[in-house]
Amino acid sequence: MCGIVGYVGQRKVGDVLLKGLSRLEYRGYDSTGVAYFKGAHIEVKKSEGKLRNIEEMVKRDPSADRLQCGIGHTRWATHGRPTTQNAHPHRTNHIVLVHNGIIENFESIRADMIKLGHSPASETDSELFGFLVLEEEKKGTDFPTSVQNAFRHLEGACSVVVMSEKQPGLIVGVRNGSPLVVALDPQGGAVFASDAQPLLEYTREVFFLEHGDMAIGSEKGITFRDIRTGKEVKREKTLLDWSADKLDKQGFPHYMLKEIFEQPLTMVDTLNGLLDRARTDPFPMAQQPGLAILEKAEEIIFIACGTSWHAALLGKYWLERWAGIPVSVELASEFRYRDPVVRRGTVIIGISQSGETADTLAAVNDMRRRGIPTMAICNVRGSTMSREVDATFFTSAGPEVGVAATKTFYAQMLAVFIMAGYLGLRRGRDTASKIPHIFQQLLKVPHMLESQLQQDGKFVKQIKEVAKRVVAQKGFFFVGRGYSFPISLEGALKLKEIAYVHAEGYAAGELKHGPIAMLDEDMAVVVLAPKDGWHEKTVSNLQEVKARGARIIGIGNPDDDKMKRFSDEFIPLPMPVGGESLDESLYPFLLAPAIQLLSYEIALLKGTDIDQPKNLAKSVTVE
Ligand code: M6R
In this predicted structure, the answer to whether residue 269 has a pLDDT above a threshold of 70 is: yes
- Class of residue 194 by CB neighbours under 10 A (exposed 0-12, middle 13-18, buried 19+): buried
Nearest to 545 by CA among 565, 567, 529: 567
Average pLDDT over residues 267-283: 77
Q: Which of 2, 158, 305, 378 is catalytic?
A: 2
Q: How many domains are contained in the chain?
A: 3
pLDDT of res. 404 = 95
571 and 472 inside one domain: yes
231 and 377 inside one domain: no
Residue where a domain terminates, one of 428, 452, 476 = 452
> What b/e string do you get for 544-570 counting C-beta neighbours within 10 Å, with b at 16 or more?
ebbeeebbbbbbbbeebeebeebbebb
Q: Using CA positions, which residue lies closest to atom 16 of ligand 1?
A: 404
414 and 491 inside one domain: no
Sequence-ordered alpha helix ranges (H) in 480-587 = 484-499, 535-547, 561-566
Average pLDDT over residues 272-293: 78
347 and 429 inside one domain: yes
444 and 386 inside one domain: yes
Structural domain harbouring 165: 3-241
- CATH number, residue 18: 3.60.20.10
Q: Using CA positions, which residue lies closest to atom 11 of ligand 1?
A: 306
pLDDT of res. 487 = 98
In this predicted structure, the answer to whether residue 219 has a pLDDT above a threshold of 80 is: yes
205 and 229 inside one domain: yes
Residue where a domain terminates, one of 383, 417, 452 = 452
In this predicted structure, the answer to whether residue 573 has a pLDDT above a threshold of 70 is: yes
Ligand 1 pocket test, pick from 309, 335, 354, 623 with the greatest ligand atom count within 8 Å of Cβ, gives 354
pLDDT of res. 336 = 92
pLDDT per residue as tens digits for the range 516-564: 888 899 999 999 999 999 999 999 888 888 888 899 999 999 999 999 9
In this predicted structure, the answer to whether residue 499 has a pLDDT above a threshold of 70 is: yes
Calculate the CA 276 to chain-centre distance. Answer: 27
Average pLDDT, rounded, for the chain: 91
> Is residue 333 within 6 Å of ligand 1 at its C-beta?
no
Average pLDDT over residues 8-37: 89
Looking from the CA of residue 619, the nearest atom of ligand 1 is: 1
458 and 403 inside one domain: no
pLDDT of res. 613 = 85
In this predicted structure, the answer to whether residue 375 has a pLDDT above a threshold of 60 is: yes
Nearest to 13 by CA among 199, 191, 247: 191
> Is residue 307 within 6 Å of ligand 1 at its C-beta?
yes
Does the annotation mark 618 as catalytic? Answer: yes
> Is residue 383 within 6 Å of ligand 1 at its C-beta?
no
User: How far away, in angstroms, is 6 Cα from ligand 1 center?
Assistant: 26
pLDDT of res. 239 = 86
Give the number of other Cβ atoms within 10 Å of residue 317's Cβ.
21
User: How far away, in angstroms, is 486 Cα from ligand 1 center?
Assistant: 15
- CATH number, residue 377: 3.40.50.10490
Looking from the CA of residue 360, the nearest atom of ligand 1 is: 4
What is the number of helices (H) and of strands (E) in the chain?
20, 25
> Is residue 406 within 6 Å of ligand 1 at its C-beta?
no
pLDDT of res. 281 = 64
261 and 362 inside one domain: yes
Contact by Cβ (8 Å): 362, 332: yes
55 and 184 inside one domain: yes
Looking from the CA of residue 304, the nearest atom of ligand 1 is: 4
- C-alpha to C-alpha distance for 181 and 208, rounded to whole angstroms: 5
pLDDT of res. 212 = 92
- C-alpha to C-alpha distance for 254 and 304, rounded to whole angstroms: 26
> Is residue 497 within 6 Å of ligand 1 at its C-beta?
yes
1 confidence band (pLDDT: 50, 70, 90): low
157 and 262 inside one domain: no
Q: Using CA positions, which residue lies closest to atom 7 of ligand 1?
A: 306
Contact by Cβ (8 Å): 531, 556: yes
Residue where a domain terminates, one of 452, 473, 490 = 452
Q: Using CA positions, which residue lies closest to atom 5 of ligand 1?
A: 352
pLDDT of res. 492 = 98
pLDDT of res. 445 = 87
Does the annotation mark 69 as catalytic? Answer: no
Q: Which of 45, 46, 50, 618 is catalytic?
A: 618
Contact by Cβ (8 Å): 217, 189: yes
In this predicted structure, the answer to whether residue 599 has a pLDDT above a threshold of 90 is: yes
- C-alpha to C-alpha distance for 531 and 194, rounded to whole angstroms: 45
pLDDT of res. 36 = 96
490 and 444 inside one domain: no
In this predicted structure, the answer to whether residue 513 has a pLDDT above a threshold of 60 is: yes
pLDDT of res. 371 = 96
pLDDT per residue as tens digits for the range 424-479: 998 888 888 888 889 888 888 887 887 788 877 889 999 999 999 999 999 999 99
66 and 96 inside one domain: yes
